[in-house]
Amino acid sequence: MGFDWTSQHVIVTGGSEGIGAAVAEAGARRGARVSILARRRVPLRDMAETIGAEWVTADVTHRDELASAIKELERRQGPCTVLACCAGLTLPGRFLDIDPDDFDTQITANYLGSVNAIRCVLPGMTERAAGRILLISSTSAFLGITGYSSYGPTKASIRQLALCLRYETDPTGVQLSVLYPADTDTPGLARENLRKPPETKAITGSIKPLPAETVARAALRGLERGHHHITTDPLTRFFLLWANLPEDLARPFFRRSIAKARGVDG
Protein backbone atom coordinates (compact mmCIF):
# COMPACT_ATOMS: atom_id res chain seq x y z
CA MET A 1 0.00 0.00 0.00
CA GLY A 2 1.31 3.45 -0.91
CA PHE A 3 1.84 6.27 1.53
CA ASP A 4 -1.31 8.41 1.74
CA TRP A 5 -0.25 12.04 2.08
CA THR A 6 -3.87 13.22 2.37
CA SER A 7 -4.08 11.71 5.86
CA GLN A 8 -0.87 13.37 7.10
CA HIS A 9 -0.25 16.50 9.13
CA VAL A 10 3.21 17.60 7.99
CA ILE A 11 5.07 20.09 10.18
CA VAL A 12 8.13 21.70 8.59
CA THR A 13 10.65 23.75 10.56
CA GLY A 14 12.53 26.32 8.50
CA GLY A 15 9.54 26.37 6.18
CA SER A 16 9.76 29.97 4.99
CA GLU A 17 12.43 29.40 2.31
CA GLY A 18 14.91 26.96 0.80
CA ILE A 19 14.59 23.21 1.24
CA GLY A 20 12.03 23.65 4.01
CA ALA A 21 9.70 25.68 1.81
CA ALA A 22 10.15 23.23 -1.05
CA VAL A 23 9.35 20.25 1.21
CA ALA A 24 6.27 22.06 2.53
CA GLU A 25 5.07 22.90 -0.98
CA ALA A 26 5.66 19.33 -2.18
CA GLY A 27 3.65 18.01 0.75
CA ALA A 28 0.81 20.44 0.05
CA ARG A 29 0.75 19.38 -3.61
CA ARG A 30 0.26 15.81 -2.44
CA GLY A 31 -2.75 16.83 -0.38
CA ALA A 32 -1.20 16.82 3.10
CA ARG A 33 -2.25 19.22 5.83
CA VAL A 34 0.91 21.32 6.02
CA SER A 35 2.13 23.57 8.83
CA ILE A 36 5.31 25.63 8.68
CA LEU A 37 7.50 27.25 11.32
CA ALA A 38 10.29 29.80 11.04
CA ARG A 39 11.62 32.86 12.85
CA ARG A 40 10.76 35.60 10.35
CA ARG A 41 7.07 36.43 10.29
CA VAL A 42 6.63 38.06 6.88
CA PRO A 43 8.31 35.48 4.63
CA LEU A 44 6.71 32.69 6.69
CA ARG A 45 3.25 34.20 6.28
CA ASP A 46 3.80 34.77 2.56
CA MET A 47 4.93 31.19 2.00
CA ALA A 48 2.00 29.83 4.00
CA GLU A 49 -0.45 31.85 1.92
CA THR A 50 1.20 30.66 -1.29
CA ILE A 51 0.87 26.95 -0.50
CA GLY A 52 -2.22 27.03 1.75
CA ALA A 53 -0.43 26.07 4.97
CA GLU A 54 -0.93 26.94 8.61
CA TRP A 55 1.94 28.86 10.21
CA VAL A 56 3.32 30.01 13.55
CA THR A 57 6.55 31.90 14.09
CA ALA A 58 9.02 30.07 16.32
CA ASP A 59 12.75 29.74 16.86
CA VAL A 60 13.80 26.07 16.99
CA THR A 61 16.61 26.96 19.42
CA HIS A 62 14.06 28.10 22.03
CA ARG A 63 12.54 24.91 23.41
CA ASP A 64 9.49 26.37 25.15
CA GLU A 65 8.63 28.66 22.23
CA LEU A 66 8.92 25.78 19.77
CA ALA A 67 6.84 23.46 21.95
CA SER A 68 4.07 26.05 22.22
CA ALA A 69 4.09 26.62 18.45
CA ILE A 70 3.86 22.93 17.61
CA LYS A 71 1.12 22.44 20.20
CA GLU A 72 -0.87 25.24 18.56
CA LEU A 73 -0.41 23.76 15.08
CA GLU A 74 -1.51 20.34 16.32
CA ARG A 75 -4.58 21.98 17.83
CA ARG A 76 -5.44 23.44 14.44
CA GLN A 77 -4.60 20.47 12.20
CA GLY A 78 -4.40 17.38 14.35
CA PRO A 79 -1.43 15.37 15.64
CA CYS A 80 1.82 15.70 13.74
CA THR A 81 2.35 12.56 11.67
CA VAL A 82 5.32 13.81 9.59
CA LEU A 83 8.00 16.14 10.94
CA ALA A 84 10.57 17.68 8.59
CA CYS A 85 13.43 19.37 10.47
CA CYS A 86 14.69 21.79 7.82
CA ALA A 87 15.71 24.78 9.93
CA GLY A 88 19.43 25.55 9.82
CA LEU A 89 22.16 27.72 8.40
CA THR A 90 25.76 27.70 7.16
CA LEU A 91 28.37 30.21 8.35
CA PRO A 92 31.60 29.23 6.58
CA GLY A 93 35.03 30.60 7.35
CA ARG A 94 38.53 29.62 8.39
CA PHE A 95 38.65 28.20 11.91
CA LEU A 96 40.64 31.07 13.44
CA ASP A 97 38.73 33.75 11.55
CA ILE A 98 35.24 32.71 12.58
CA ASP A 99 33.54 34.55 15.41
CA PRO A 100 33.23 32.08 18.32
CA ASP A 101 29.51 32.79 18.43
CA ASP A 102 29.17 31.34 14.92
CA PHE A 103 30.04 27.91 16.31
CA ASP A 104 27.32 28.25 18.94
CA THR A 105 24.79 29.53 16.43
CA GLN A 106 25.21 26.60 14.07
CA ILE A 107 25.30 23.97 16.80
CA THR A 108 22.08 25.24 18.38
CA ALA A 109 20.24 25.77 15.09
CA ASN A 110 21.45 22.84 13.00
CA TYR A 111 21.68 20.15 15.68
CA LEU A 112 19.79 21.16 18.82
CA GLY A 113 17.01 22.71 16.73
CA SER A 114 16.29 19.26 15.33
CA VAL A 115 16.58 17.64 18.76
CA ASN A 116 14.09 20.15 20.17
CA ALA A 117 11.59 19.57 17.38
CA ILE A 118 11.80 15.79 17.63
CA ARG A 119 11.21 15.88 21.37
CA CYS A 120 8.02 17.85 20.77
CA VAL A 121 6.39 15.26 18.50
CA LEU A 122 8.03 11.92 19.31
CA PRO A 123 5.96 11.15 22.45
CA GLY A 124 2.74 11.43 20.45
CA MET A 125 4.10 9.45 17.54
CA THR A 126 5.29 6.72 19.89
CA GLU A 127 1.90 6.56 21.60
CA ARG A 128 0.16 6.23 18.23
CA ALA A 129 2.81 3.76 16.99
CA ALA A 130 3.16 5.72 13.75
CA GLY A 131 5.03 8.72 12.40
CA ARG A 132 7.83 9.80 10.09
CA ILE A 133 10.67 12.19 10.83
CA LEU A 134 12.96 13.77 8.25
CA LEU A 135 16.34 15.18 9.31
CA ILE A 136 18.58 17.28 7.06
CA SER A 137 22.26 16.41 7.06
CA SER A 138 24.67 17.16 4.18
CA THR A 139 27.37 15.73 1.98
CA SER A 140 29.74 17.61 4.32
CA ALA A 141 28.84 15.07 7.03
CA PHE A 142 31.26 12.71 5.23
CA LEU A 143 33.96 15.12 4.07
CA GLY A 144 36.41 17.47 5.75
CA ILE A 145 36.11 20.69 3.74
CA THR A 146 38.19 23.79 4.35
CA GLY A 147 35.96 26.55 5.65
CA TYR A 148 33.32 24.23 7.11
CA SER A 149 34.90 23.54 10.51
CA SER A 150 31.94 25.21 12.23
CA TYR A 151 29.31 23.69 9.93
CA GLY A 152 30.36 20.18 8.90
CA PRO A 153 30.40 18.79 12.45
CA THR A 154 26.80 19.93 13.00
CA LYS A 155 25.69 17.93 9.97
CA ALA A 156 27.73 14.90 11.03
CA SER A 157 25.98 15.12 14.38
CA ILE A 158 22.58 14.92 12.65
CA ARG A 159 23.64 11.68 10.99
CA GLN A 160 24.91 10.30 14.28
CA LEU A 161 21.69 11.33 16.05
CA ALA A 162 19.69 9.32 13.54
CA LEU A 163 21.96 6.27 13.80
CA CYS A 164 21.56 6.22 17.58
CA LEU A 165 17.89 7.20 17.83
CA ARG A 166 16.72 4.76 15.17
CA TYR A 167 17.20 1.83 17.56
CA GLU A 168 14.62 3.46 19.83
CA THR A 169 12.15 4.62 17.18
CA ASP A 170 12.05 1.61 14.84
CA PRO A 171 10.42 -0.76 17.37
CA THR A 172 7.70 1.82 18.07
CA GLY A 173 6.63 2.21 14.45
CA VAL A 174 8.21 5.65 14.00
CA GLN A 175 10.40 5.97 10.91
CA LEU A 176 13.50 8.16 10.96
CA SER A 177 15.03 9.31 7.65
CA VAL A 178 18.08 11.47 6.92
CA LEU A 179 18.46 13.55 3.76
CA TYR A 180 22.01 14.29 2.58
CA PRO A 181 21.74 17.09 -0.01
CA ALA A 182 24.73 18.49 -1.82
CA ASP A 183 24.70 22.21 -2.65
CA THR A 184 21.11 23.33 -3.22
CA ASP A 185 20.00 26.51 -4.97
CA THR A 186 18.46 28.41 -2.06
CA PRO A 187 18.66 31.89 -0.50
CA GLY A 188 20.74 30.28 2.24
CA LEU A 189 23.35 29.16 -0.28
CA ALA A 190 23.48 32.68 -1.74
CA ARG A 191 24.18 34.10 1.73
CA GLU A 192 26.73 31.36 2.40
CA ASN A 193 28.61 32.14 -0.82
CA LEU A 194 29.17 35.73 0.30
CA ARG A 195 31.43 34.61 3.14
CA LYS A 196 33.14 31.49 1.77
CA PRO A 197 36.95 31.61 1.90
CA PRO A 198 38.71 31.17 -1.47
CA GLU A 199 39.64 27.58 -0.61
CA THR A 200 36.01 26.68 0.04
CA LYS A 201 34.90 28.32 -3.20
CA ALA A 202 37.56 26.36 -5.08
CA ILE A 203 36.28 23.07 -3.66
CA THR A 204 32.56 23.70 -3.97
CA GLY A 205 32.59 25.93 -7.05
CA SER A 206 32.58 23.02 -9.49
CA ILE A 207 29.34 21.65 -8.00
CA LYS A 208 26.18 22.76 -9.79
CA PRO A 209 23.53 23.39 -7.13
CA LEU A 210 20.36 21.36 -7.42
CA PRO A 211 16.99 23.11 -7.43
CA ALA A 212 15.32 22.98 -4.02
CA GLU A 213 12.27 21.40 -5.65
CA THR A 214 14.39 18.47 -6.88
CA VAL A 215 15.78 17.92 -3.40
CA ALA A 216 12.29 18.11 -1.89
CA ARG A 217 10.93 15.51 -4.32
CA ALA A 218 13.76 13.16 -3.38
CA ALA A 219 13.04 13.72 0.31
CA LEU A 220 9.34 12.94 0.03
CA ARG A 221 9.99 9.95 -2.21
CA GLY A 222 12.41 8.61 0.40
CA LEU A 223 9.85 9.12 3.16
CA GLU A 224 7.20 7.32 1.11
CA ARG A 225 9.48 4.34 0.57
CA GLY A 226 10.69 4.20 4.15
CA HIS A 227 14.35 4.87 3.33
CA HIS A 228 16.62 5.50 6.29
CA HIS A 229 19.10 7.45 4.16
CA ILE A 230 18.17 9.70 1.22
CA THR A 231 20.68 11.12 -1.25
CA THR A 232 20.35 13.34 -4.30
CA ASP A 233 23.62 12.77 -6.17
CA PRO A 234 25.98 9.88 -7.06
CA LEU A 235 28.98 11.20 -5.09
CA THR A 236 27.07 11.37 -1.81
CA ARG A 237 25.62 7.91 -2.44
CA PHE A 238 29.20 6.62 -2.78
CA PHE A 239 30.27 8.22 0.51
CA LEU A 240 27.14 6.90 2.22
CA LEU A 241 27.77 3.34 1.05
CA TRP A 242 31.20 3.25 2.66
CA ALA A 243 30.18 5.17 5.77
CA ASN A 244 27.31 2.77 6.42
CA LEU A 245 29.41 -0.39 6.12
CA PRO A 246 30.52 -0.53 9.80
CA GLU A 247 26.96 0.20 10.93
CA ASP A 248 25.55 -2.52 8.69
CA LEU A 249 28.02 -5.07 10.03
CA ALA A 250 27.37 -4.12 13.67
CA ARG A 251 23.57 -3.83 13.47
CA PRO A 252 22.72 -7.53 14.13
CA PHE A 253 24.87 -7.51 17.29
CA PHE A 254 23.29 -4.25 18.47
CA ARG A 255 19.76 -5.56 17.91
CA ARG A 256 20.44 -8.80 19.80
CA SER A 257 21.95 -6.86 22.69
CA ILE A 258 19.00 -4.47 22.84
CA ALA A 259 16.48 -7.30 22.74
CA LYS A 260 18.32 -9.11 25.52
CA ALA A 261 18.43 -5.96 27.66
CA ARG A 262 14.72 -5.35 27.21
CA GLY A 263 13.97 -8.92 28.12
CA VAL A 264 16.01 -8.61 31.32
CA ASP A 265 14.24 -5.37 32.17
CA GLY A 266 10.90 -6.96 31.99
Catalytic site residues? 137, 151, 155
Query: Cβ(87)–Cβ(44) under 8 Å?
Result: no
Q: How far is 214 from 218, CA to CA, in rounded Å?
A: 6
Looking at residue 221, its amino acid is: R
Q: What is the rounded end-to-end Cα distance, in angstroms, of the chain? A: 35
Q: At what angle do helices 113-128 and 152-169 cross, to 10 degrees?
A: 10
Q: Which of 27, 44, 160 is nearest to 81 (CA)?
A: 27
Q: Which of 49, 229, 221, 263 is nearest to 141 (CA)?
A: 229
Q: How many other CB atoms sit within 10 Å of the CB of residue 25?
A: 22
The upper half-sphere exposure of residue 145, i.e. CA atoms within 13 Å in the direction of its Cβ, equals: 27
Q: How far is 27 from 86, CA to CA, in rounded Å?
A: 14
Q: How far is 57 from 174, CA to CA, in rounded Å?
A: 26
